[in-house]
Chain A
Amino acid sequence: MEFVKPTLQYFELSPMLIVFAAACLGVIVEGFLPRARRHLVQVVVAGLGLVAALAVTVWVATDLTERGSGEARGLLAASGTIVIDGPTVYLWGLVLLFAIAGVALFAERRLEGGVSAFAGQAAALPGTEAERQASTRGLDHTEVYPLLMFAVGGMMLFPASNDLLTMFVALEVLSLPLYLLCGLARRRRLLSQEAALKYFLLGAFSSGFFLYGVALVYGFAGSMQLAEINEAVRNDVGNESLLLIGMGMLAVGLLFKVGAAPFHSWTPDVYQGAPTAVTAFMAACTKVAAFGALLRLFYVAFGSDRWTWQPMMWVIAILTMLVGAVLAIVQTDVKRMLAYSAISHTGFLLTGVLGAQASGELADGQVTSLEAVLFYLTTYGFATVGAFAVVTLVRDSGGEATSFPRWAGLGRRSPWVAGAFAFFLLSMAGIPLTAGFVGKWAVFTVAMSAGAWPVVAVAIVASIVAVYFYIRHIRLMFFSEPEDEVAAVTAASPLTTVTIAVCAAGTLVLGVVPGPVLDLVTHAGDFIR
């Protein structure tokens, strides 16, 4: 038996390697440094790791070579299990960017009076003596930084994986730290643990489906490699039922992660229960990574069989948009409202996914659905991170005040913070001159030109419904008389304020001069098949 030594493309893989290395370093720091110095060192390790990875990602991006007909650039790495192409590096960039924002929000300690938003001692039962002791001693969980880094590593591997098993491993690597992070809130710990357990159980359930799908598709195609599955689909070998059931199961696993209806039920509970910094990180980065994987799976592996999965995707997109937009109306909690809004954005993104067309059907220079979705993810990420960052600031004596009545009249007490929040909401609503408008414009246009006009019509109806609850919240902040007890904006450290400012600037720039980023997205090119 011949044994071939696998070659690793260290340079191209280095962004991911740096992130994992920083995560491991974090674990070591946790073990060897005295408690008092851990926080600073962990923040520095995580922050530097992410910044370095981002810098190398940019370097890798400029260095990718063209392949084939020139529409795609990049290479297959690690014996063909990982693919590093234009979309991969773009998604890496996005994940790293929002992860840096996540670290900044994690590191915020001024809001809680010198401690972070994470539980002092996660193992202590809520309401016990141990918990009180942990709180009086000012304990802090600094393991959150390595956890975040492992999750980021998984998120980078997820859209880059070129075979189903790697994809599954990445899915688990990104999910497990997130389950833990969700349960670490300092306040409302039951709610937080509840959310973590729920997320874990349902996540495990859906992972099971994904894995079963992997097995079935392997049964059909005889391979895990996306390109070889594509070959098998094209040549129509094997039992078609196996393929269809497998495809459905894989779709379920991914649609669960992006929070599409009817797999959305975890989203509101988890978004609400998790510490808000975690929610911000998770809402932006998980969606970026999971949509990257979804696009790769359905474009590369099942791309030549679009008519099989598109009808299902139509229904899911329509259902997701309606469920998200309509149920957001009846929410009375800011985090839950944002969660349902995230669900409706998943629907809009799926609308963009539906715009997939073969390159022959595209008009010359027409925007592809991949580009539209990548751009939408960018706009969505900025608005989401920014909005959740604002939520961390609005507090009363019991911590973050997320119920609507507490937000009444906030605009008069803190016009800048409320103004920023209103701006993020307007972007999510897709009002012109914000990033969201250009994003919506892009995904709707590609779906329309692919003939999915019924979905676009529903999407426009859903965005109108959505505008209603966004504007209602803006009205609440600026035009409502506050009743009984109200929340106030707590002064935060520059970590949070700079994050909010950067997100607001990003949202504005992407709305007014989206050109450079659109160019970048176009430049990312196509997936390597």
Chain B
Amino acid sequence: MHLLTESAHIPVVNPTSADGIFSLMWLVIALPLAGAVVLLLGGRLTDRWGHLLGTATAAGSFVVSLLMFLSLMDRGEGERQISQELYNWIHVGGLEVGMDLLYDPLSSLFLLLITGVGTLIHVYSIGYMEHDPRRRRFFAYLNLFVAAMLMLVMAENYVGLFLGWEGVGLASYLLIGFWQHKPTAAAAAKKAFVMNRVGDMGMALAIFLFFVTFGTTSFSGISAASSGASEATLNALGLLLLLGACGKSAQVPLQAWLLDAMEGPTPVSALIHAATMVTAGVYLIVRSNFVFELAPAAQTVVVIVATVTLLWGAVLGCAKDDIKKALAGSTMSQIGYMMLAAGLGTAGYAFAIFHLLTHGFFKANMFLGAGSVMHGMNDDVDMRRYGAVRHAMPVTFLTFAMGYLAIIGFPGFSGFWSKDKIIEVALTENLLVGIAALIGAGITGFYMTRLMLMTFFTNKRWKEDVHPHESPALMTVPLIVLAALSVLAGVLLLGDWIVEWLTPVVGHVEHHEPPLPALAITGIVVAVVALGVAAAWFLVARREISLTPPEDVSFATRAARADLYGDAINEGLVVTPGRHLVSGLLTFDRHGADGVFTGGASAVSGIGGQLRKIQNGFVRSYALSLLAGVLIVVLALLAVNLG
């Protein structure tokens, strides 16, 4: 599958320094950051206008991003990489890490997505969080997230990227657990945090390895030198980066947190867990194309991970009755498509980003739509208690329908163009992977139709005291804008615009001929999707939907309901051994030395006499452990050197 890479030219990041409008680059990050600081430090003083300030800073960022984008379009192809050095962050000897920003065609698209969708979601949240007493704090966290996400995509080196990477992780943690009174929310936040740390470990190791190998962490330095490194090193780097990407983008095996993360407020799910943060892994891989292009083994692993994930997520999407979890499964699956395209190398990078953008629009649209439905249904998320909502919420229904048609790939809608391209490239590169992607498209058709039918069609199943109503304009206007984008974003592909736009970043290869004519592939994709839709029609719409999930189901359904046993696998492979390790260490330490005192610590206040008894003689065992340590050290020294 790497025939293409041999002839590919890997572009070097070689930015010019910022001037004109581009010297305002820092403002894009600084605005939302300032918003977050003011809202967090301002306290209750800012309660009344905090949400407006938060929205205004995001919008200001968007305006700057748009102006920069327009000027970038005016520039020649060779001059579209611009950097701005803010200051020297860490500088000691050869260790030099600048707080530098990079604005190029790739980050320009991300800037528009993050600030654009971000602003819409801020507006929506004004309505959605209206009655929440902690709304100001919510907006502060949202601003913090936007700033960190922008840092992630604008950094010119891996350390800066890592700063943003940690920042979005922190913001995501705070926002998932925002409704801290719900124990499930707190647990979900913790789970997301812990699983992301595993990914971060990969990132951190990759950064050190970059530094040791190339003596720098900047994109320009590494991209210029990467062809000089050994393939084994590059493969190791690629795999470590992939581990980081898996954590952030919920790819197998670090996927388990995403579904639980739906405990957060719905705008958060739309912004962080659909449109932006979870796609950071895709950004990382596309940005690191100068590593992956030279690391075929790592690329193969990316493709495998992506293929497994796109099917895994799709299967989860079929079994969930919680509307947000069904959408989360679908997000996993769609990110799988992006990762797949990114793993396919130069031929796929542009389409990975293209699908990332269209997905950003239609998935944010559908999440906000789901939020609007929940708003009208007393915050119920169980689709079994929905049904025929379309009459009560026409705007939500119509906008959601646009997102639906986009995600299943209905011809003409944005998702059609982007997914079709990925499947085409996949089929060209590797038949097996291509077929898996095709099957995934069919399942997408099934679960999205199921969701659509159970929510908006079929008979009404909601309870007596629920009175669905359309949401206020603050919430529906962002929906309408996003729906329009879901329909129209396909224009980015006109005349291969997006491919050419990204060429300075990811390089360009001559297109290989797919095994079938492109038109035939498109026909097959549409047919497979139609099959999935039809299956959903017969299995869902033609049957009675019970209010509780049926129990007499096949093993496959049970497995899918249990997240394909993702938690059980984690429990068995990581948590239990970890717990044994801790208890083992504790026992060791208790016998060797410490421990009993641990229990005593809480009882310390007051009962001094008791404590004297408990502690009497402990120095002896401390000294014993010290002696054992001495013996170990000395014997080890002797054994290593004389043995």
Check if B585 sits within 8 Å of A198, measured CB to CB: no
Interface residues of B in 190-223 (CB under 8 A from A): 193-194, 197-198, 200-201, 204-205, 208-209, 211-212, 215
Pull 7 A–B residue pairs with CB atoms less than 8 Å apart, ordered by A. A241-B642, A262-B628, A326-B582, A327-B585, A363-B94, A442-B92, A471-B173
Find the B residue at minimum CB distance from A464.
B197
What is the bound-complex CA distance between A245 and B631, given in angstroms?
10
Q: Which residues of B contact A (CB under 8 A)?
A: 43, 87-95, 159, 162-163, 166-167, 170, 173, 177, 180, 186, 193-194, 197-198, 200-201, 204-205, 208-209, 211-212, 215, 581-582, 585-586, 589, 592-594, 597-598, 601-602, 604-606, 608-609, 611-612, 615, 618-619, 622-623, 625-626, 628-630, 632-634, 636-638, 640-642
Contact among A201, A365, A460 with B94 in the assembled complex (CB-CB below 8 Å): A365
A190-B611, A248-B637, A444-B208 as given contacts; A263 in contact with B601, CB under 8 Å? no
A522 x B92 contact (CB < 8 A) = yes
Q: B585, A449: Cβ atoms under 8 Å?
A: no
Could you say which residues of chain A place their CB within 8 Å of the CB of B632? 262
CA separation between A407 and B211, bound complex, in Å? 41
Tell me the bound Cα distance from A467 to B642 in angstroms: 40
The CA of A212 and the CA of B582, in the complex, are separated in Å by 35
Whether A197 and B633, one on each chain, are in contact in the complex, defined by CB atoms closer than 8 angstroms, is no
CB-nearest residue of chain A relative to B194?
A: A468
A189 and B601 alpha carbons, distance in the complex (Å): 14
| A82-90, A224-232, A512-520: which lies at the interface | A512-520
Q: Which residues of A contact B194 (CB under 8 A)?
A: 468
Interface contact B619-A202, CB-CB below 8 Å: yes
Of all A-B residue pairs in the complex, the 9 with the closest CB atoms, nearest first, are A265-B593, A262-B629, A248-B634, A190-B608, A518-B92, A365-B93, A365-B94, A432-B163, A333-B601
- Bound: A123/B104 CA distance, A: 72
> What residues of A have a CB within 8 angstroms of the CB of B612 in the complex?
190, 194
Known: A245-B638, A364-B94, A366-B94. 19 other contacts (CB 8 A): A191-B604, A191-B611, A244-B637, A252-B633, A256-B626, A261-B629, A265-B593, A327-B586, A336-B601, A365-B94, A432-B159, A445-B95, A448-B209, A449-B211, A456-B208, A460-B205, A479-B177, A515-B88, A515-B89
What is the interface of chain A, defined by CB distance below 8 A to chain B?
Answer: 126-127, 188-191, 194, 197-198, 201-202, 205-206, 209, 240-241, 244-245, 247-249, 251-252, 255-256, 261-263, 265-266, 268-269, 272, 308-309, 311-312, 315-316, 322-323, 326-327, 329-333, 336, 363-368, 371, 375, 398, 403, 415, 431-433, 438, 441-442, 444-445, 448-449, 456-457, 460-461, 464, 467-468, 471, 475, 479, 512-515, 518-519, 521-522
Are B93 and A327 in contact, with the CB atoms below 8 A? Answer: no
A445–B622 CB distance below 8 A: no
Query: Which B residues lie within 8 Å of A330 (CB)?
Result: 582, 586, 598
Minimal Cβ-Cβ distance residue in B for A335? B601
Interface contact A332-B601, CB-CB below 8 Å? yes
Main secondary structure of the interface of A (DSSP, over half): helix
- Residue in A189, A316, A479, A518 whose CB lies within 8 Å of B91: A518
Interface of B is mostly: helix
Cα–Cα distance between A444 and B638 once the two chains are bound (Å): 28
- Contact B90 A515, beta carbon cutoff 8 Å: yes
- Given A248-B634, A330-B582, A468-B194, A336-B93 contact (CB < 8 Å): no
Minimal Cβ-Cβ distance residue in B for A449: B212
Check A326 against B581 for contact (C-beta < 8 Å). yes
**Are A262 and B626 in contact (CB-based, < 8 A)?**
yes
Q: Which among A202, A309, A441, A521 has the highest number of chain B CB atoms within 10 Å? A: A441
Do A188 and B594 form a contact, CB below 8 Å, given A326-B582, A471-B193, A522-B93?
no
B637 in complex: contacting residue of A308, A460, A515, CB < 8 Å:
A308
Closest to B173 in A: A471
Contact A367 B636 (CB under 8 A): no
Q: Which residues of B contact A189 (CB under 8 A)?
A: 608
Instruction: Point out the residues of chain B lying under 8 angstroms from A431, CB to CB.
Output: 166, 170
Residue of B whose beta carbon sits closest to that of A199: B619
Q: How far is the CB of B179 from chain A (nearest CB, A)?
A: 11
The CA-CA distance from A433 to B170 in the complex, in Å, is: 13
A329 to B578, CA, bound (A): 12
Specify which of B173, B593, B626 is in contact with A206 (CB 8 Å cutoff). Answer: B626
- Once bound together, how far apart are the Cα atoms of A279 and B376, in whole Å? 57
Which residues on A sit within 8 Å (CB–CB) of B606? 398
Residues in A neighbouring B201, C-beta threshold 8 A: 460-461, 464
A416 shortest CB reach to chain B, Å = 10
If the complex has contacts A198-B619, A272-B601, A442-B95, are A312 and B640 also in contact, measured as CB distance less than 8 A? Answer: yes
A323 near B166: Cβ-Cβ < 8 Å: no
- Given the interface contacts A194-B615, A398-B606, does A249 sit within 8 Å of B630 by beta carbon? yes
| Interface pair B204/A460, CB less than 8 Å apart | yes
A371 lies within 8 A of B593 (CB):
no
Kindly state the separation between the CA atoms of A194 and B617 in the bound complex, as whole angstroms.
11
The CA-CA distance from A398 to B194 in the complex, in Å, is: 36
Q: Nearest B residue to A405 by beta-carbon distance?
A: B602
CB distance from A309 to the nearest CB of B (A): 7
How far in angstroms is the closest Cβ of chain A from B582?
6
Q: How far is the CB of A86 from chain B (nearest CB, A)?
A: 14
Distance of B449 from chain A, by nearest CB (Å): 40
- Taken together as a complex, chains A and B put the C-alpha atoms of A194 and B198 apart, in Å, by 41
A468–B195 Cα distance when bound, in Å, is 11
Return B244 CB to nearest CB of chain A, in Å: 12
Judge whether B594 and A265 touch: CB under 8 Å: yes
Given contacts A326-B585, A515-B91, is CB(A201)–CB(B619) below 8 Å? yes
Q: Once the chains are docked, how many angstroms separate the CA of A448 from the CA of B139?
A: 41
On whether the beta carbons of A188 and B193 are closer than 8 Å, the reply is: no
Select one of A197, A316, A332 contacting B602, CB under 8 A: A332
Residues of A within 8 A of B633 (CB): 248, 251-252, 255, 312, 316
Residues of chain A within 8 A (CB-CB) of B638 are 241, 244-245
* B-side contacts of A375, CB under 8 Å: 92
Closest B residue, CB atoms, query A438 = B90
CA of A47 to CA of B489, assembled, Å: 68
Which of B198, B598, B622 touches A265 (beta carbons < 8 Å)? B622
Contact B93 A262 (CB under 8 A): no
